[in-house]
Amino acid sequence: MVRRRTDGFTVMEMMVVMLIIGVVLILTFPNIQQKREIINAKGCESLVEVVNSQILMYEIDHDTKDVSMDDLVHGGYLKESQRSCPGGKTIYIENGEAHAD
């Protein structure tokens, strides 16, 4: 009489588990990508507001209305990495207000 070992998983059980994991990943991946885009957009809006507040601080400290990104970075009001948004948009100053493009 041949005895079968019953400990462990069969190939069929492993395939079913892999199929379920695959379906879950397929359903959640587009949602994760969409959320990343929303997070980058909100992060960019927030960074533009930070730059606007630093423009105001620079104007108050230096009694001038002519401010550039270089002035803010070299003056210590912003870090070099704050010149662009997480999504890759560049922040620029136009008419005393920050914008992202």
Q: Say if strands 91-94 and 97-100 run parallel, antiparallel, or are unpaired.
A: antiparallel
Instruction: Flag whether 35 is in a domain.
Output: no
Instruction: Please tell me the total count of domains within the chain.
Output: 1
Q: Residue 24: CA atoms inside 13 Å, Cβ hemisphere, count?
A: 6
Phi/psi of residue 66, each to 5°?
-95, 100
**Is 96 within 8 Å of 67 (Cβ atoms)?**
yes
Three-state secondary-structure class, residue 16: helix
Residue 6 covered by a domain: no
The identity of residue 25, as a single letter, is: L
Domain membership of residue 61 as a residue range: 47-101
pTM: 0.66
How many CB atoms neighbour CB 98 within 10 A? 21
From first to last of its 101 residues, what are the pLDDT tens digits of the chain? 666 666 777 899 999 999 999 999 998 888 888 888 888 889 999 999 999 999 999 999 999 888 999 999 999 999 999 999 987 899 999 998 999 98
**Residue 91 falls within a domain, yes or no?**
yes
* CA nearest to 65, candidates 37, 92, 95, 45: 95
Is 62 inside any structural domain? yes
pLDDT at 5: 66
